[in-house]
Structure 1
């Protein structure tokens, strides 16, 4: 993991917090957006922990540049701002998750593990705000004409509640690859490109409710 923050004490504090977890290995650090982009492209870490307010270029711009040249790198934004519209903008720039700086060490580790599994992570206190914002936006899906199969609706419900592909596979006695295929088919049928859109659609259909779960997802 690469840690990008313009405050030395913050960077060192984060690295110290994560050092005790065997899942996380910090391979580098940077203090500006430009340096963060350069080191990300040089070191190719699995995850970049990106502060949003950086000198020279912002964390948003740095995220966009990294994703443009190395889309396989996951970016987890670390910020003090608890604002739903701001978070949506961050996700549109390509970030895989959003965590507040007040997060406990275990919450940060959970977020890192979640995005490494290909999921999107939202800090619990802002998950409901994000969903409310998305629900108010223009609805791309026509819920009345359900294009999904019974199995796809079942998987969609679990996705909206925050279950990972692996967890869904275990619950439904399916292979992880089968769940991934169903999920890809759902995205294709609905012409969706993000988990946020899936959650919105599931809420419209009554498959999930707007309540924040412990892991930053939704529960019914």
Structure 2
């Protein structure tokens, strides 16, 4: 059994471009008895702070506009091997979650977790375990048996496959008997769910995950 952590000596750094969320998160950490927690809206300032002071844990959003989150995390892992790194994100696409652990993160939790689970994540990662929040656990388990499983709907999966096969929006509309506006809406939803931004990335995703 893992003993409850004494967080009174913990210093946390939060990297998230949303001011309201970041300040709210800092207040939650304070209520959990963190010694100190600071919020930064950009990676450059966060890196300067990490170099200047000692921190136990880094909480970072997966999507930081205009910056390379992966590079920042891998750099932190090399420079600060004892720093606990936990991603806090709205992205629930399991392949992205698994990829983050290859960068050296210790935990991945969604922004909807309770304070109880946040504390559990800290206890587990501090003990040396990897942690994924409970709302993502079932998806992660299913992905072990169904590697290509995504959080796309059946219709979105069909649209994704057609895009990968090179069909244009008007042709997909004709094949599926839906309007071009509906096809575009499906494509937007697919890109948002998979955190992809170009048609080339969609094609690569299909072939990488054997969805073709």
**Shorter-chain TM-score: what band?**
0.5 to 0.7
How much is the aligned-residue C-alpha RMSD, in angstroms? Answer: 1.8
Match of 1:133 in 2: 143
1:29, distance to aligned residue in structure 2 (A)? 2.3
2:17 pairs with 1:6: yes
1:107 matched to 2:117:
yes
SS at 1:19 equivalent: helix
Q: Which stretches in structure 2 are left out of the alignment for 5+ residues?
A: 1-11, 148-212
Residues 3, 26 of structure 1: 8 Å contact kept:
no
User: TM-score if structure 1 supplies the norm length?
Assistant: 0.57
- Provide the rounded CA distance (Å) in 1 between the counterparts of 2:37 and 2:135: 30
In the TM superposition, residue 65 of structure 1 has moved relative to its aligned partner by 1.3
Structure number with bigger Rg: 2
Alignment counterpart, residue 73 of structure 1, candidates 70, 79, 83: 83
Deviating runs (4+, > 6 A) in structure 1?
A: none
Write the distance in 2 (CA, Å) between the matches of 1:128 and 1:61: 29
Does 1:36 find its partner at 2:39?
no
For 1:47-66, what aligned pairs fall within 5 Å after superposition? Answer: 47-66=57-76
Q: Report if the CA contact (8 A) 2:30-2:37 is conserved.
A: no
How far apart in 2 are the matches of 1:37 and 1:88?
24
Does residue 1:17 correspond to 2:28, yes or no? yes
SS at match of 1:45: coil
| Partner Cα separation in structure 2 for residue 119 and residue 5 of structure 1 | 24
Assess, with a 3 A threshold, how the Cα gap between structure 1 residues 132 and 14 changes in structure 2: closer, same or farther.
Answer: same
